[in-house]
Structure formats: C-alpha cells, structure tokens
Amino acid sequence: MADAPSPVGYLPFYSRETDIYALPELVEHPVDAAYLRELGVSVTPSAETLAGLERGSRIFAQRFRERTLLPHTRFRTGSIDPAREEPEIHNYTGRCPTLTYEINPVRGCGVGCQYCLVTDGVHEQPLVALENYHLYVRRLLDEMNGPGSENANHYYYFSPKTEAFQEPTLLTGIAHRILREFIDHFRRCPQSRARLFIASKAGAKHLLVEDGGESVLDLFAQLRGRMQFNTSVSIMPDAFRDLLEPYAAPLSERLRAVTMCRERGIQSNSALVQPIFTPWLSDEHIKAFFDALHGAGIINYKPEFLTACMENLSMLGPLLGHFDKALERQLYEDYLLPSNADHRKQRGRTAPDRALSRESIARMSRYTDTLGMSVSVCYWVRSQLGITEAEVPLINRNGFQCLGYQSELFRDVQ
Ligand code: SF4
C-alpha cells in the first residue's frame, strides 16, 4: 500500500458538545482494588482481571495526557493493489449462517468510539482512506457474483471494521465509487444475487454528501431491492453518547437518515442496537429508546451488549462514572464476576453476566413485542446464552436473522 505524504484536515459533520480533555477527574484514580472497594463494588475480580484494569488505567491516563484519546480530524490517502487484496469473509463466530464479504476502505476510523470493537477504543493510528478501493470491490463482485456465479447468495458488508460513511470516505468520493461499482455490477449482471449490507452510524448530513452531482442517497436509490441500510444506535443518554462516540451523528440524525432512506424506497427498517450498557437498561429507558426507533419505522433490531477487554473497561467505567457513580459501580458488578471471566467474544472481549444478558434481552423483547418489533441475535450470543429457536427463530417473523440480514432481499428483483 503506497500512502500519499500529506494529511488532509477536515471539519467533522457533527460537532461534539463535551471536550473529554476538560475532564481531568476521569483519570484521577486508577481502577484498582482500592478504587473498586471505595466505589462499593461487591464482586471480587481475579488477579488477572485486576491487572488488566490497572494496565488500562495507566494507558488511559497516558493517552489523556498526550491527547490521543480521539482520532485526529485528518487523513491521508493511500491505495491498494486491487489484484492482491485478499477477500475477507465476515464470520467472527465461525458459525454465521451467511456468506458475507467485508468492504473496509479506510484503515482506522474517524468516528473515534471509545468502546470500538475493532481497536478496543484506541485511535492513535493515522487514518488512511484507500482511494482505489472500488477497484478491489469490482474484482470481488466479478469473482464472487460475476458471470457464472450470479446465483450465489452473497452479502457484502460495508463496513465492519470502519465507518462506511465518514468524512474521509465521503470527501474523497470513495464511498460513492464503491456504491457505483455495485450499480455497474447489477447492470452487467442483472441476475446477480450479490446483496449490499450496510451497517452505519451515518446521520442525514452524511447521506446527502454529493460526488459528481449524486448524493449517497441518490446512489442507494439505484440499488433498491438489492441493499439494506441498517442504522447502528445505542440506548444511552445523549451526553454520554457524545463522550463515547465523539464524531458520530446524534441518535435523532441517525433516525432521520433511516427515514430518508425509506422515503426513497430503500430497505431501512432494522437497527443494530449496540453497545448496550446494562446499567442504563431501565424499563423507562427501554421504552423511550424503542419508541423513538418505532417512530422512525424500525421493525427489527439486533441487540448487542457492550463487550470490552479489561483495559478498555477501565476507561469506559470512569466515563460512565462522570455522569453517575452508581452506574459505574453497576458496570463493574455486571462484568467482573470471576464466573463471567470466560464469557468472551472475539479478541478476549468480555460480555456482561450471562443471566443478566438473558434477562435483559427478555425485558427488551417484552416491550418491543408490544410495538410489533422482532429481535434477531447472532449465533455466538444464541449459543452463549442458550437462546432457543422457539425464543428467537433463526429467521424471525419479519425475515431478519443474525446481524439483521434481511433474507427477503434474495427474492428476485423485478
Ligand atoms: S464507528 Fe465502528 S469502527 Fe468506527 S470507531 Fe466506532 S465502533 Fe470503531
């Protein structure tokens, strides 16, 4: 990969309200045994868990001092060799029911989520936007769904390892070029059963960015029937979200993006609800959140609890504690039980206590059932929590499975 030498600065489309660096109390106390005791945490974590938390606190304090907690709002452009790029199959659990290829046109991510599943919340690496990534997408579509392979049911996931519609992909036209590759592919191969799965934190402003006179939304409209736009949102107060997802659109703007998609006939009625912070999951918050989703026309959601390595948890705890120490205490209670230490998702990220996770899904479903919404869960969650097909069918009554893949998308497009 050859990188251009000079970085390009940009103004994020949505500004943050809170400056994380103006909150020195976040790094005043390391999260160690004494801190947990003082906070009133009743569980006793293992020595290994404590060592991870303490290590995380040291890293957090250092990154705070060096002001490297958030990504820099600048990127470099780079390129790849489209012929040599290795196709990546999206299957973290080893048991996914779909064959899905990943589309990741940026190294790093400009959104800067402090819980990021890809980087464990570390955003020090330079952002590199891959200018010619669409040529790899062209090759991938040709190889997997081109002449002779049109009948293969494949999803293309844009983007699991970065945000598809962030300033670096929009200002360079990279996102537009990738969408145009899909449009051209379907012109060449109208029978192709390639389907574009988008999971994104984009707000309305992102989808309105134009390149060559066409907005992202205009290009989506040309992919109607062959793509879905799943918003990614979480149940948390706005002020907390602002700290956790510093350069993402607020919830209202993400829901506006959903509505705009549906107004253009684009499948956009399923949400990835992540990361769920269990201490915040009161009945009142469940109701307010899902009422908002329902109001925007969402009929399905995939709940995903926060998973975090201990180093990341000791950064997220004080961020939550900034709003409410009782919530911070509860966060540690939910994650640190030694019996929960093996409840780990990819790359050693710990999920909350299994019984609590089951009960939380049941509580959300009880309410969302009243709104007519369905739930889909990934295979890993299903197997860890013992969720049966009777409770959550593999393909639910609205046709969704797993991450929120819509099985009906594979019907022939007229
Ligand atoms: S948008 Fe996704 S990839 Fe980007 S920082 Fe947030 S969690 Fe990570």
Give 93-137 pLDDT, tens digit per residue: 666 667 899 999 999 999 999 999 888 888 888 999 999 999 999
Q: State mean pLDDT over 248-255.
A: 96
Q: Is 201 in the pocket of ligand 1 (CB under 6 A)?
A: yes
Report CA(151)–ligand 1 centroid distance (Å): 33
**Strand pairing partners for 2?**
79
Q: Whose CA is nearest to atom 7 of ligand 1?
A: 116
199 lines ligand 1 (CB under 6 A): no
Round the average pLDDT of the chain to a whole number and report it.
93
Closest CA to 205 of 168, 165, 234: 165
Q: Which two tokens stand for residue 299?
A: 């009929």
Long-range contacts of 19-28 (CB under 8 A, 24+ apart): 20/64, 20/69, 20/70, 20/243, 20/246, 21/64, 21/67, 21/69, 23/322, 24/64, 25/318, 25/322, 26/60, 26/64, 26/318, 26/319, 26/322, 27/57, 27/60, 27/61, 27/64, 27/318
Q: What is the pLDDT of residue 384?
A: 84
Question: Angle CA(239)–CA(69)–CA(34) in degrees, nearest 5?
Answer: 80
Ligand 1 centroid, distance to 171 Cα (angstroms): 18
Mean pLDDT confidence for 237-262: 95
Distance 336 CA to ligand 1 centre (A): 24
For residue 118 and ligand 1, the question of a CB distance below 6 A is answered with yes
Mutate which of 16, 73, 201, 346 for ligand 1? The one with the most ligand atoms within 8 Å of its CB, which is 201
Q: What pLDDT is stored for residue 233 in this prediction?
A: 97
Q: How far is the CA of 160 from the centre of ligand 1 (A)?
A: 8
Pocket lining: 102 vs ligand 1, CB cutoff 6 Å: no
What is the model's pLDDT at position 367?
98
Q: How far is the CA of 241 from the centre of ligand 1 (A)?
A: 13
Residue 28: per-residue pLDDT = 93
Instruction: Give percent of the chain with pLDDT exceeding 70.
Output: 96
Predicted local distance difference test score (pLDDT) of residue 318:
97
Long-range Cβ contacts of 251-255 (<8 Å, 24+ apart): 251/292, 253/14, 253/203, 253/204, 253/205, 254/201, 254/202, 254/203, 255/231, 255/292, 255/293, 255/295, 255/296
**pLDDT of 337 above 90:** no
pLDDT of residue 95: 66
Measured in Å, residue 43 CA sits from the centre of ligand 1 at 31
Ligand 1 close to Cβ of residue 111 (< 6 A): yes
pLDDT of residue 99: 86
Residue 71 Cβ < 6 Å to ligand 1: no
Whether the pLDDT of residue 347 is over 80: the answer is no
Which pLDDT band, with edges at 50, 70 and 90, does 410 fall under? confident
- For residue 161, give the ligand 1 atom closest to its CA: 3
The alpha carbon of 162 and the centre of ligand 1 are apart by a number of angstroms equal to 5
Task: Select the more confidently predicted residue: 294 or 92.
Answer: 294
Report the C-alpha gap between 100 and 89 in whole angstroms: 6
Average pLDDT over residues 58-71: 95
The CATH fold assigned to 70-306+352-410 is: TIM Barrel (3.20.20)
Name residue 149's amino acid.
Answer: S
Summarize the confidence of residues 46-71 as an average pLDDT.
95
In this predicted structure, the answer to whether residue 225 has a pLDDT above a threshold of 70 is yes
